[in-house]
Amino acid sequence: RAGDPSALALAAVCGQLETVSFQCVPRLSDRGFAALWQGCPKLRHVTLKACDVTAHAVEAARNAKLDLVVNALTGPPKSYHGFSGLA
């Protein structure tokens, strides 16, 4: 079962990770997402589709790591402060 446990495990060993995509992972929450962007120094692109990551967590990540691009897709496409698809 993917989600926070997988994200936390990945964050512990992701020194070279630049891009990650979580597709239809409702068990990925703000906690797992934060572990990824905080623990992966080279992470630059994240796609979140049908995850339980809040818009607040995405915005916090983007504000803290200015070179991070996050595409959060949960519903009909929208534009939100440089992100696409936040519902």
pLDDT tens-digit readout, 1-22: 678 988 989 888 988 999 999 9
Ordered per-residue pLDDT tens for the chain, 87 residues = 678 988 989 888 988 999 999 988 889 999 999 999 999 999 999 999 999 999 999 999 999 999 999 998 865 444 334 444 443
CB 73 within 8 A of CB 47: yes
The first and second tokens of residue 52, run together, are 């339980």
Q: Cα(43)–Cα(50) distance, rounded to whole angstroms?
A: 20
